[in-house]
Protein backbone atom coordinates (compact mmCIF):
# COMPACT_ATOMS: atom_id res chain seq x y z
CA UNK A 1 0.00 0.00 0.00
CA UNK A 2 1.38 3.38 -0.96
CA UNK A 3 0.93 5.72 2.00
CA UNK A 4 0.93 8.78 -0.25
CA UNK A 5 -2.22 7.48 -1.97
CA UNK A 6 -4.29 7.81 1.20
CA UNK A 7 -6.10 11.11 1.51
CA UNK A 8 -7.62 12.62 4.61
CA UNK A 9 -11.15 12.11 3.28
CA UNK A 10 -10.61 8.42 2.49
CA UNK A 11 -13.01 5.94 4.02
CA UNK A 12 -10.69 3.06 4.92
CA UNK A 13 -11.82 -0.41 5.85
CA UNK A 14 -10.38 -1.82 9.09
CA UNK A 15 -8.00 -3.99 7.05
CA UNK A 16 -6.72 -1.00 5.09
CA UNK A 17 -6.41 1.01 8.30
CA UNK A 18 -4.23 -1.77 9.73
CA UNK A 19 -2.10 -1.90 6.57
CA UNK A 20 -1.75 1.86 6.69
CA UNK A 21 -0.70 1.76 10.35
CA UNK A 22 1.88 -0.96 9.64
CA UNK A 23 3.28 1.02 6.72
CA UNK A 24 3.55 4.14 8.88
CA UNK A 25 5.36 2.16 11.59
CA UNK A 26 7.77 0.69 9.04
CA UNK A 27 8.51 4.15 7.67
CA UNK A 28 9.13 5.42 11.20
CA UNK A 29 11.56 2.57 11.89
CA UNK A 30 13.41 3.24 8.63
CA UNK A 31 13.67 6.93 9.51
CA UNK A 32 15.15 6.08 12.91
CA UNK A 33 17.62 3.66 11.30
CA UNK A 34 18.73 6.26 8.75
CA UNK A 35 19.12 8.93 11.43
CA UNK A 36 21.18 6.53 13.55
CA UNK A 37 23.41 5.67 10.60
CA UNK A 38 23.98 9.34 9.83
CA UNK A 39 24.91 10.09 13.43
CA UNK A 40 27.30 7.13 13.54
CA UNK A 41 28.92 8.13 10.24
CA UNK A 42 29.30 11.71 11.44
CA UNK A 43 30.95 10.57 14.67
CA UNK A 44 33.37 8.32 12.76
CA UNK A 45 34.26 11.10 10.33
CA UNK A 46 34.73 13.56 13.21
CA UNK A 47 37.01 11.12 15.02
CA UNK A 48 39.09 10.62 11.88
CA UNK A 49 39.28 14.37 11.28
CA UNK A 50 40.33 15.02 14.88
CA UNK A 51 43.01 12.33 14.69
CA UNK A 52 44.36 13.78 11.44
CA UNK A 53 44.32 17.32 12.83
CA UNK A 54 46.14 16.21 15.99
CA UNK A 55 48.70 14.36 13.90
CA UNK A 56 49.32 17.42 11.73
CA UNK A 57 49.59 19.69 14.76
CA UNK A 58 52.10 17.34 16.40
CA UNK A 59 54.14 17.20 13.19
CA UNK A 60 54.18 21.00 12.97
CA UNK A 61 55.22 21.26 16.61
CA UNK A 62 58.05 18.77 16.07
CA UNK A 63 59.32 20.79 13.11
CA UNK A 64 59.36 23.94 15.26
CA UNK A 65 61.32 22.25 18.05
Please give, one letter per residue, the 3-state secondary structure of 5-58: HCCCCCCCCHHHHHHHHHHHHHHHHHHHHHHHHHHHHHHHHHHHHHHHHHHHHH
Whether the predicted model's global pTM rises above the 0.85 cut: no
**Mean pLDDT of the region 5-9:** 56
The rounded mean pLDDT for the chain is 85
Rounded to an integer, the average pLDDT of 9-25 is: 83
Over residues 4-22, mean pLDDT: 75
pLDDT surpassing 60 at residue 11: yes
Confidence band (pLDDT; 50, 70, 90) for 1? low
Amino acid sequence: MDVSSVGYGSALTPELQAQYAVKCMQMSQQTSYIAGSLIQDTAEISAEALAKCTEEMNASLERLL
